[in-house]
Amino acid sequence: MESAEIRRRWLSFFEERGHTVVPSASLIADDPTLLLVPAGMVPFKPYFLGEVKPPFARATSVQKCVRTPDIEEVGKTTRHGTFFQMCGNFSFGDYFKEGAIKHAWELLTGSVADGGYGLDPERLWITVYEKDDEAERIWREVVGVPAERIQRLGMGPNYWSMGVPGPCGPCSEINYDRGPEFGPEGGPAVNDERYVEIWNLVFMQYERGAGTGKEDFEILGELPAKNIDTGLGLERLAMILQGVRNMYETDTLRVVIDKATELTGVRYGAGEDSDVALRVVADHLRTSVMLIGDGVTPGNEGRGYVLRRIMRRAIRNMRLLGSQEPVVGRLVDVVIKTMGLQYPELVTDRERIETVALAEEAAFLKTLRAGTGILDNAVGETKAAGGRELSGEQAFLLHDTWGFPIDLTLEMAAEQGLTVDEDGFRRLMREQRERAKADAMAKKTGHADLSAYREVADTAGATEFTGYTHTEGEAT
């Protein structure tokens, strides 16, 4: 079943059951606390917090999501992307635990002919929060899942909360057993690669009080109106329904891998390292296109920095795979072709997306040309002196003068067997920020001579001059 069809079935299943179909919001969250949207519930947050009265009691969506903290997992686990699509159904004071559980089961195990996904019920394993007897009972008695395929987990994985005071409550997750070739048995509590998490059901049931962290807080009482928030990873379901080993081999990502193979001559399956690199390229290029599509442009802070980092990592991986030529145009093209089925605005916006992506590639290739020699020298000097670590000063210089993001320096140093003094680097970054702030203050009061800055800006050109604009984004 193709991704576009999985999406279509999701929305029509819930629409037929009284849910209003809400289009995906932009990845740029309408929420000052978030850089990018990491989950399907974000656009509904004001309803869940009781700040705004929801215009419907039930809603469904397939929301574009980006999770930058998952970047290190990409290509290494089978199931984490930086961009993915979260299918969700939501109830605002309407149906609760039993309704959510029954809907989920019906859709997953319903026959393909009747609009379901046709999963084998015997491969589905359930986790519930360890104290949530009610959810366990519904799974066993109402749905008929045998007790041995239901596992109880603690608050870490199976409890959700938002804000203080704010809603909170237990979760229940549905996991799919991919079989013994993915590892030993024992259920999702012991093996998350074999028993892959596909769907999280959140039961917003209580009011959270003061307390620290994710697990240690007071529960004030039952919420007057109980809500449902669920999220299923479209790519994970596609991986199962398409019978492939990982999410990067599903229809919308595999074509990007194939294009990268064509451009580098490296066959997918030739080796673990090159496979990871090909998966990173496919994931990151797709994320980049989706971010640019929603209006993000590469830069040195915030979202722009997320995009820059992801794009540059993709380009670097292409070079590690042996490609010396510009590649972004061809890769962007194939992403737009495959994602355009679900997001036609990518097609109408093609020219702008390509222009932004190509400009970033050109800037980065220039940076690499200039900085690689400097990095090699620094590595050579460090090794000659018997050191195993690049200094913070060296990393800072590479960043400040040559535009090397710190993770690029880290990766390139690691390839030559060195670590980097990251603390030293961050200290210098902080000091630079402080100086920039002081300068800005002086500028306001008219006491600084800015001609030196202007000179640099004029000679370096707009894309290269990054001198005093770095902020938090760098620190991730």
Give contact residues for ligand ATP (rule: CB under 6 A).
67, 70, 79-81, 84, 86, 197-200, 231-233, 235-236
How many chain residues interact with Mg ion (CB under 5 A)?
2
User: Whose Cβ is closer to ligand ATP: residue 101's or residue 418's?
Assistant: 101
- Judged by beta carbon distances under 5 to 8 A according to partner kind, the member of Mg ion, ligand ATP, none in contact with residue 231 is ligand ATP
User: Whose Cβ is closer to ligand ATP: residue 25's or residue 363's?
Assistant: 25
Q: Which of 283, 281, 279 is nearest to 245 (CA)?
A: 279
- Judged by beta carbon distances under 5 to 8 A according to partner kind, the member of ligand ATP, Mg ion, none in contact with residue 233 is ligand ATP
**Do you know the residue count of the chain?**
476
Strands 159-161 and 20-21, by their bridges, are unpaired
The least CB distance from residue 72 to ligand ATP, in Å, is 11
Compute CA distances 251 → 97, 193, 293, 306, whole Å. 33, 21, 20, 25
User: Whose Cβ is closer to ligand ATP: residue 116's or residue 424's?
Assistant: 116
User: Whose Cβ is closer to ligand ATP: residue 264's or residue 287's?
Assistant: 287
Contact positions with Mg ion (CB under 5 A) in 171-200 = 197, 200
The least CB distance from residue 77 to ligand ATP, in Å, is 8
The least CB distance from residue 291 to Mg ion, in Å, is 20
Q: What DSSP string runs through 318-369? A: HHHTT--S--HHHHHHHHHHHHTTT-THHHHTHHHHHHHHHHHHHHHHHHHH
The least CB distance from residue 225 to Mg ion, in Å, is 24
User: Whose Cβ is closer to Mg ion: residue 160's or residue 217's?
Assistant: 160
The least CB distance from residue 232 to Mg ion, in Å, is 10
- Judged by beta carbon distances under 5 to 8 A according to partner kind, the member of Mg ion, ligand ATP, none in contact with residue 342 is none
User: Whose Cβ is closer to ligand ATP: residue 70's or residue 106's?
Assistant: 70
Distance from C-alpha of 319 to C-alpha of 368, rounded to nearest angstrom? 11
User: Whose Cβ is closer to ligand ATP: residue 279's or residue 399's?
Assistant: 279
Amino acid identity, residue 383? K
- Judged by beta carbon distances under 5 to 8 A according to partner kind, the member of Mg ion, ligand ATP, none in contact with residue 81 is ligand ATP
Q: What DSSP string runs through 24-58? A: PPPSB-SSTT-SB--STTGGGHHHHTTSS--S-SE
317 binds Mg ion (CB under 5 A): no
The least CB distance from residue 103 to ligand ATP, in Å, is 16
Distance from C-alpha of 426 to C-alpha of 184, rounded to nearest angstrom? 42
Task: For the chain, count helices (H), then strands (E).
Answer: 16, 11
User: Whose Cβ is closer to ligand ATP: residue 82's or residue 274's?
Assistant: 82
Q: Closest residue to ligand ATP, Cβ-based?
A: 233
- Judged by beta carbon distances under 5 to 8 A according to partner kind, the member of ligand ATP, Mg ion, none in contact with residue 470 is none
The least CB distance from residue 326 to ligand ATP, in Å, is 28
The least CB distance from residue 431 to ligand ATP, in Å, is 35
Q: What DSSP string runs through 251-306? A: HHHHHHHHHHHHHH-PPTTS-HHHHHHHHHHHHHHHHHHHHHHTT----SSHHHHH
The least CB distance from residue 105 to ligand ATP, in Å, is 16
Contact, 158 vs 172, CB < 8 A?
A: yes
User: Whose Cβ is closer to Mg ion: residue 91's or residue 200's?
Assistant: 200
Local structure of residue 433 (DSSP, 8 states): H
Contact, 239 vs 247, CB < 8 A?
A: yes
Strands 150-153 and 124-129, by their bridges, are parallel
Compute CA distances 213 → 169, 200, 210, 436, whole Å. 15, 21, 10, 34
Distance from C-alpha of 316 to C-alpha of 475, rounded to nearest angstrom? 20
The least CB distance from residue 314 to ligand ATP, in Å, is 16
User: Whose Cβ is closer to ligand ATP: residue 86's or residue 375's?
Assistant: 86
Beta bridge partners of 83: 66
User: Whose Cβ is closer to ligand ATP: residue 197's or residue 294's?
Assistant: 197
Distance from C-alpha of 165 to C-alpha of 219, rounded to nearest angstrom? 9
- Judged by beta carbon distances under 5 to 8 A according to partner kind, the member of ligand ATP, Mg ion, none in contact with residue 10 is none
Contact positions with Mg ion (CB under 5 A) in 194-253 = 197, 200
Compute CA distances 465 → 340, 383, 410, 462, 470, whole Å. 34, 31, 22, 6, 11
- Judged by beta carbon distances under 5 to 8 A according to partner kind, the member of ligand ATP, Mg ion, none in contact with residue 405 is none
The least CB distance from residue 72 to Mg ion, in Å, is 11
Distance from C-alpha of 430 to C-alpha of 468, rounded to nearest angstrom? 11
Tell me how far the alpha carbon of residue 202 is from its chain's centroid: 20
For binding to Mg ion (CB under 5 A), which residues are involved?
197, 200
